[in-house]
Amino acid sequence: MAYAKDLKKGQIVQIENQYYIVRQQEAKSPSARGASTLYKFRFSSVPGGQKLEMTCTGDDPFSDVDLLRRTVSLLYREGDEFTFMDSEDYSQYLVNSSTIEEQLPYMSDGMEGLIALLVDGQLLAIELPSSIALEITETSPAIKGASAAARTKTAQLSTGLEVQVPEYLSTGEIIKVNTETGKFMSRA
């Protein structure tokens, strides 16, 4: 049994016989004496992606899900379907793009080191590494003499993701991007 105070972003729980992944979690401590901390959650059903918002106290229980974590790689995309392959037993999992829409801007064909969250042999969600290296495909020319603490410019990456990067970077360079915040970290 999991409690509301213990839930984290990316965790899967069961609510009314449906699986949901925690997309956002926010804790609010009321100022009144004796009042308990409230936890506001934004869930998405998996598979399906339907949104559910819920406010709970810290002791509200959630049904645990027998979750299996497996290392997978993205083989290819065909229309709205993505095929992932297990790195150990080479089994393949097919998933719709709506299930992994938040992770799509960070994924490219052949990407390895992803974690698949499986329930009863069905892929419900993908966990990304904390940072990934992507190539800058389009940005304005680099400015000579620009320092690391200077202004930023928009850069489009190989997956289509747009991030703000320092002015000294140019097209073709590989950079690290934080998958939690979607922001530039450093050169790779």
Strand partners, 62: 2
Q: What is the pLDDT of residue 33?
A: 66
DSSP string, 130-172: SEEEEEEEEEPPPPTT--TTS-EEEEEETTS-EEEEETT--TT
* 55 has a pLDDT exceeding 90: no
- Within a 10 A sphere around the Cβ of 77, how many other Cβ atoms? 14
Q: How far is Cα 102 from Cα 76, in angstroms, rounded to an integer?
A: 17
pTM listed for this prediction: 0.71
Closest C-alpha to 187, from 149, 150, 133: 133
* 179 has a pLDDT exceeding 70: yes
Q: What is the pLDDT of residue 168?
A: 85
**Domain ranges across the chain:** 2-62, 68-127, 131-187
Give the fold, CATH level 3, of 68-127: OB fold (Dihydrolipoamide Acetyltransferase, E2P) (2.40.50)
CATH 3.20.20.120 fits 2-62, yes or no: no
pLDDT in tens, 82-106: 999 998 998 998 888 877 888 888 9
Region of residue 148 (left: phi > 0; alpha: psi -120 to 50; beta: else)? alpha
Q: What is the pLDDT of residue 137?
A: 93
Strands of the 131-139 sheet, one edge to the other: 162-166, 152-157, 131-139, 174-178, 184-187
Quote the radius of gyration of the chain (alpha carbons, Å). 20
Q: What is the pLDDT of residue 40?
A: 87
- Within a 10 A sphere around the Cβ of 126, how many other Cβ atoms? 23
Tokens 């950079």, residue located = 175
In CATH terms, the superfamily for domain 131-187 is Nucleic acid-binding proteins (2.40.50.140)
* 25 has a pLDDT exceeding 60: yes
Give Dmax over CA atoms of the chain in angstroms: 59
Q: Please indicate whether the domains covering 2-62 and 131-187 agree at the CATH topology level.
A: no
The set of residues, in sequence order, having a beta carbon less than 8 Å from that of 165 and lying 6+ positions away, is: 136, 139, 152, 153, 154, 155, 175, 184
Instruction: Give the Cα-Cα-Cα angle 75, 77, 82 (nearest 5 degrees).
Output: 80
